[in-house]
Amino acid sequence: MSEQSTFQYRPESDFHRRSHFDFIKRALPGIYLYIAAWPILFLWTGFHEKHPFISGIFGFGFISISLLRLMHTQMTESHYDDNRFAWQYGLYILVLAHAGFWGALFYFANFDPRFAVIVTPVNLVIAGIASASMISLIPIYWLAQVYVALLLVPTGVASAFTNGMWQLCLIILIYWLYLIFIGRRFHKEYVRAFEIEKALFTKTVELEQQSITDRLTKAFNRLHFDQYLQEQWHKAVNEQQGISLLILDVDHFKKINDQFGHLVGDHCLQHATHLISQCAEKLKAPVFRYGGEEFVVLVNSEHSASVEQLTENILNAFRETPYQEGQIHHPMTISIGVCQLIASTKLTVETLLKEADDALYLAKQRGRNRAEFSQFSQGIKA
């Protein structure tokens, strides 16, 4: 599950990763605004004509930090997971550098006579930036608070110790406290929304897993096998690759139920699933409960040469590991039918199933506790 945006985040990921990605996404519009704010403040007011050196310093600062933040943003998706420590401290430095430049401009606009022509637009911009930042940067709460403090506090403190500026100090103090209050509220709502989303995602994953899992054995179920087989068959046909199917049947399972009861029979099926899964795990091959005491294993072309060894491993695992529970010590064996073929448009997925099933029937006819390969397997098995 992912959101369609510049940055892909995972709902199951940790809170810090998610908050960092959200922070970057929310801050992006502000970065573009900062690039545009410099010409609006300095060029349109004529400030750059009277004070070109000062305009150049602030213009260079705003634009260079904005470009560095854009570069940092572009590196997020590819570098975050491998270099999280460097990434996050790079973010902190750049964000606080931006706040420092805006805070300095706010200070000079109110205390340096040279900035008198832009004092009103600067104060309006700072008020807007402080409010927007507390909302948009709230995924990293402490950074949003420090950002706003760098914007407002230096000017607020200076105005407190300047004659005739106590009104500005009071306005800044009230506004700052207000932003702290709403910031805390927004952050709590953000954290709560994350917790709800993660809980919903976890529940969805659990439900999806349950829908494809056999309740008794915890192997994949028949429904999932039918879907998975179709997907792998079409892939093998398109790539003209081999595909291998094993159908396995626990020998004399009815006798186990008749002799020990269905509860022990269920435990024997769980035991069988465990043995098959252990062997198939080496080839990363999924195990499915096909029905009753039958299982299937689907092996892709990458491991086709190892299928014969897989069948031997499964047979030996059953021979060497009887089912044991309390006083019950019951040997178990299994019969296996295998079909290996090169998928093509001349064949169908039903061919694969029928050939493996016929091979299983032959294994039972020849005494069980063995594996038989279909006629299609002769060209691949070696």
306-354 confidence digits (pLDDT tens): 899 999 999 999 999 999 988 888 999 999 999 999 888 889 999 999 9
What is the per-residue DSSP string for 69-115?
A: HHHHHHTHHHHTTTSHHHHHHHHHHHHHHHHHHHHHHHHHHHH-GGG
pLDDT of residue 80: 86
Same-domain check for residues 176 and 323:
no
Angle between helix 15-38 and 119-136 (nearest 10): 160
Q: Has residue 81 been placed in a domain?
A: yes
Query: DSSP labels for 160-213?
Result: HTSTT-HHHHHHHHHHHHHHHHHHHHHHHHHHHHHHHHHHHHHHHHHHHHHHTB
Between 101 and 2, residue with greater pLDDT = 101
Q: Measured between alpha carbons, how far is 210 from 108 in angstroms, rounded to an integer?
A: 63
Question: Is the pTM value of this prediction over 0.75?
Answer: no
* Same domain assignment for residues 102 and 137: yes
Distance CA 218, CA 209 (A): 10
Lowest mean pLDDT among 6-15, 96-105, 228-237: 6-15
pLDDT at res. 10: 53
User: Which pLDDT score is estimated for 376?
Assistant: 67
* Token pair in block for residue 346: 């001349």
Tokens 């573009």 belong to 32
- Total domains in the chain come to 2
Residue 167: pLDDT band with limits 50, 70, 90: very high
Instruction: Please identify, among 206, 231, 246, the residue that sits at the C-terminal boundary of a domain.
Output: 206
| 299 CA to centre of own chain | 27
Does 259 lie in the same domain as 190? Answer: no
Work out the number of other CB atoms within 10 angstroms of the CB of residue 286.
18
Which token pair is 21? 């990605």
* Predicted confidence (pLDDT) per residue in 189-211, tens digit: 998 988 888 888 888 888 888 89
Whether pLDDT at 378 is above 70: no
Q: Does residue 276 share a domain with residue 144? A: no
| Angstrom distance (rounded) from CA 208 to CA 145 | 40
- Which residues span the domain enclosing 143? 15-206
For tokens 């409960």, the residue is 289
Q: Which residue has the higher pLDDT, 168 or 304?
A: 168
**Residue 4: inside a domain:** no
Single-letter amino acid code for the residue at 189: E
340: in domain: yes
Would the pLDDT of 9 be above 60? Answer: no
Of 142, 172, 206, the residue at which a domain comes to its end is: 206
**33 pLDDT above the threshold of 90:** no
* Predicted local confidence at residue 13, as pLDDT: 56
213 bridge partner residues: 220
What pLDDT score does 204 carry? 85
Average pLDDT over residues 287-314: 90
Residues 69-94 have pLDDT tens digits of 999 999 888 888 888 889 989 999 99
Residues 202, 234 share a domain: no
CA distance linking residue 210 with residue 207, whole number of Å: 5
Residue 216 falls inside a structural domain: no
**% residues pLDDT > 70 (the chain):** 95
- Tell whether 152 is covered by a domain: yes
pLDDT band with cut points at 50, 70 and 90 for residue 382: very low
pLDDT per residue over 92-149, tens digit each?
Answer: 999 999 999 999 999 999 999 999 989 999 999 999 999 988 888 889 999 999 999 9
Residue 300 has what pLDDT? 84
| 145 and 170 assigned to the same domain | yes
Record the tokens describing residue 114, joined without a space. Answer: 């040279």
Domain membership flag for residue 276: yes
Q: Is the residue at 100 inside a domain? A: yes
Give domain status of residue 291, yes or no.
Answer: yes
Q: Which amino acid is at 263?
A: L
pLDDT at 5 over 50: no
